[in-house]
């Protein structure tokens, strides 16, 4: 039993996915055997079905290490094989991601189409029968006449382009009118959207100004602040802290109350820890009244 590896030049004229191809020529001397057309006619059914097109034949080591071949190397498949009176022909279906690659190299004449099959060869080197067809691959050297002949899709497209369909005048005019209407509507929508954005921006600016004015109106005047500080009877240090807080945006009443709470807490703690001293605080040997005693204690606490 012989292994048959035969190749033929590719003849690609344009890009396409489905090609009319010559798989192998009859009465042709190939690199592995001589192929009588009678044998091709008798064994054409061996080429029936979809035979994968691989990138290259497998190497000797790959035949044993990976007999099932590599799926990533499949670039298409051959189908609809038949005997045409001399050769076996069919259709080659090239996958989309390989079409440009195949076309470029085929036009440069650097790749070829090759069968990979098994068969019986007599002593004279003539094929007597095919036993199995494994694949039809892309290789670098031509052999037994395999070739790409015609892009079937391109042939159909060419016939269609020679007989263009003429649309009715009324339909063309209506279509033009529709296009113009859509254009007008699109322009109107663009203007409407722009006005809506402008209105939103204006509303946001008005809200910002209103908020600023409200904040200004809410802020107490200098006279109101001075009157509140006098009524609160705060120390000078506490008054200064209240003024700083109000200038920073704090509420006047809350700031005054915070200072009053701190002073009350300090005095309560002083009275709790040293009630005798709280009741008899002197300045230079002279007893102090209650107001002066409070001031003295706050001064010692750093609040005066």
When pLDDT is cut at 50, 70 and 90, the band that residue 41 belongs to is very high
pLDDT tens digits for range 142-181: 667 666 666 565 434 444 444 455 678 888 888 888 888 9
Q: How confident is the model at residue 253 (pLDDT cuts 50, 70, 90)?
A: confident
Is the model's pLDDT at 255 over the cut of 90? no
How many Cβ atoms from other residues are within 10 Å of residue 191's Cβ? 10
Check residue 250 and give its pLDDT. 85
pLDDT given for residue 11 in this prediction? 47
Q: How does residue 122 score in pLDDT terms, banded at 50, 70 and 90?
A: very high
Task: Please report the sign of the dihedral spanned by the C-alpha atoms of residue 58, residue 62, residue 66, residue 72.
Answer: negative
Of 103-112, 138-147, 194-203, the range with the highest mean pLDDT is: 194-203
- Flag whether pLDDT at 302 surpasses 80: no
Average pLDDT, the chain: 78
Query: Which residues are within 8 A (CB) of 220 and not within 5 positions of it... i.e. 6 or more apart?
Result: 228, 246, 252
Q: What is the pTM of this model?
A: 0.46
Whole-angstrom Cα distance, residue 262 to residue 298?
A: 10
**Whether the predicted pLDDT of 128 surpasses 70:** yes
- 100-114, 217-231, 265-279: least confidently modelled range: 265-279
Higher pLDDT, 167 or 247: 247
Q: Kindly report, residue by residue over 258-286, the tens digit of the pLDDT.
A: 888 887 887 777 777 655 545 544 545 45
* 112, 143 contact by CB (below 8 A): yes
pLDDT above 80 for 108: no
Least confident among 7-21, 161-175, 185-199, 284-298 = 284-298
Whether residue 301 is predicted with pLDDT greater than 90 in this model: the reply is no
Place of tokens 């690659």: 101
């Amino acid at each position: 039993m012989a292994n048959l590896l035969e190749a033929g030049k590719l003849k690609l004229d344009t890009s396409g996915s489905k090609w009319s191809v010559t798989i192998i020529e009859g009465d042709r001397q190939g690199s592995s055997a001589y192929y009588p057309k009678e044998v091709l006619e008798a064994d054409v059914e061996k080429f029936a079905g979809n035979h994968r097109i691989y990138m290259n034949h497998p190497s000797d080591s790959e035949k044993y290490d990976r007999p099932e071949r590599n799926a990533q190397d499949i670039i298409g498949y051959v189908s609809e094989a038949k005997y045409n009176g001399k050769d076996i022909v069919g259709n080659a279906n090239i996958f989309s991601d390989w079409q440009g690659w195949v076309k470029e190299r085929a036009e440069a004449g650097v790749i070829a189409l090759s069968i990979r099959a098994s068969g019986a060869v007599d002593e004279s080197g003539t094929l007597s029968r095919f036993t199995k067809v494994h694949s039809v691959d892309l290789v670098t050297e031509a052999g037994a006449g395999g070739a790409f002949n015609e892009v079937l899709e391109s042939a159909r497209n060419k016939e269609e382009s020679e007989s263009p369909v003429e649309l009715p005048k009324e339909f063309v005019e209506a279509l033009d009118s529709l296009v113009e209407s859509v254009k007008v509507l699109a322009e109107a929508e663009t203007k409407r959207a722009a006005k809506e954005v402008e209105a939103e921006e204006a509303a946001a600016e008005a809200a910002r100004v209103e908020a600023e004015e409200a904040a200004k109106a809410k802020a107490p005047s200098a006279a109101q602040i001075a009157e509140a500080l006098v009524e609160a009877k705060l120390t000078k240090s506490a008054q200064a802290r209240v003024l700083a807080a109000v200038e920073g945006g704090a509420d006047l009443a809350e700031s005054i109350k915070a200072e009053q709470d701190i002073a009350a807490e300090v005095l309560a703690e002083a009275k709790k820890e040293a009630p005798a001293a709280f009741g008899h605080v002197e300045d230079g040997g002279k007893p102090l009244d209650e107001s002066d005693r409070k001031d003295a204690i706050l001064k010692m606490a750093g609040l005066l």
